[in-house]
Amino acid sequence: MITLEDCQQRDAADALRPLRALFHLPQGLIYLDGNSLGPMPLAAVARAQDVVAREWGEGLIRSWNSADWFTMPQRLGARIAPLIGAAPDQVLVTDTTSVNLYKVLFAALAMARQDQPERRVVLSERSNFPTDLYIAHSLCAAQGFTLKLLEPHEIASALGADSAVLLLTHVNYRTGAMHDMAGVSAAARQAGALMVWDLAHSAGAVPVDLLAAGADFAVGCSYKYLNGGPGAPAFLWVHPQHSARFAQPLSGWWGHAAPFAFTPDYQPAPGVARYLCGTQPILSLALLDCGLDVFDQAQALGGMAALRAKSLALSELFIALVEQQCSDFGLGLATPRASAERGSQVSLTRAHGAGGHAIMQALIARGVIGDFRAGDGAEQLDILRFGLAPLYLRFEDLWHAVDHLRQVLARGEWQQAQFQRAHAVT
């Protein structure tokens, strides 16, 4: 029997607990949606005010030089690099995850077309995040490749002589299931295919080592576990052996070798800098800087290894509490039990159409914020997602969250009319 006192004792022994004080967490809320949008670092308000009032207001255009706005994509990329197992000069922060995926997948297809023209198949998971599949489909259709969608257990056997690129998300957005990055990348490499990873649900939550895994390209999001703010710019990584081979398709002036030479012909910048396109969103980049400051402090407390250990402890506790308190209410578990196969979230299942969305809305009304992903009514179950970010969550938070869940289910609160209304964002 797990008690509230047990959870409080674990919090008292948690070496990472000082990090919670670096975030603005509204009183009375238990925030379990950092896998969709991370909370605001306390330093963000002052930083935004400084960028607006001093750097923009007083510095004006001079701040491209005096405040070093111009190199922010590279400087922030260098800060993300150690979190994903990359060298500082291999990562850029720019554009959105979808745009960055378009750029790197375009480059990967160009490489395949030049080096191995007989390979015309791009492989991905059927349950991959939809925007990844949309981008892949549009590029394949435009360039004469075939997109083949697979179940996770089919990936290894599907890699073959016709495989050009394997595109996967490291941690599945619905279930929280995590691929063996090194093993899958090795299988792709052995089959002669290029490996592209989406790290949107990995970066800042689980250890990632792109170089050691032998991956080729990666993209990722900065407004989830990196706490960069809503719509914060994404990042991309290109293995150094590929970074100078092709000009990416969005050949804007920021990716030019000499952008202020203003020549009419395009000459791509050396290395990963060629993956830049247009003028950067300085305010958003500055706020991401605050999110990354937290990871500098986390490094002194054990870094990603310590964060991963706490993440696993949180998810194991959450699963155990749900099974202890909510076993009679028709909930299942979509997230793998094996720690090596689990990211930093727990996804509970509910039969399609059996009130999953309403249950989450009732929880949110109680101050427990997670989110909902609908199934298709045939092969999938509805998903209630709970992100377990180790930077700021307490073990006590999970005890209270599951107690609220039990009350919502036991009292039938989710059946109230106010929780049946659909919202634009679920």
Active-site annotation, residues: 129, 198, 223-224, 385
Q: CA-based Rg of the chain, rounded to a whole angstrom? A: 22
Question: Which of 217, 230, 177, 221 is CA-nearest to residue 203?
Answer: 221
Assign residue 386 a region (left: φ > 0; alpha: ψ between -120 and 50; beta: otherwise).
beta
> In angstroms, rounded to a whole number, what is the distance separating the alpha carbons of residues 278 and 352?
43
Q: How far is CA 345 from CA 113, 164, 271, in A?
A: 38, 31, 35
> In angstroms, rounded to a whole number, what is the distance separating the alpha carbons of residues 114 and 120?
11
DSSP 256: B
Question: Which of 218, 124, 133, 212 is CA-nearest to residue 165?
Answer: 124
Structure tokens at 194: 């290029």
Structure tokens at 84: 């994903």
SS3 31: strand
Q: Is the separation of the CB atoms in 218 and 199 below 8 Å?
A: yes
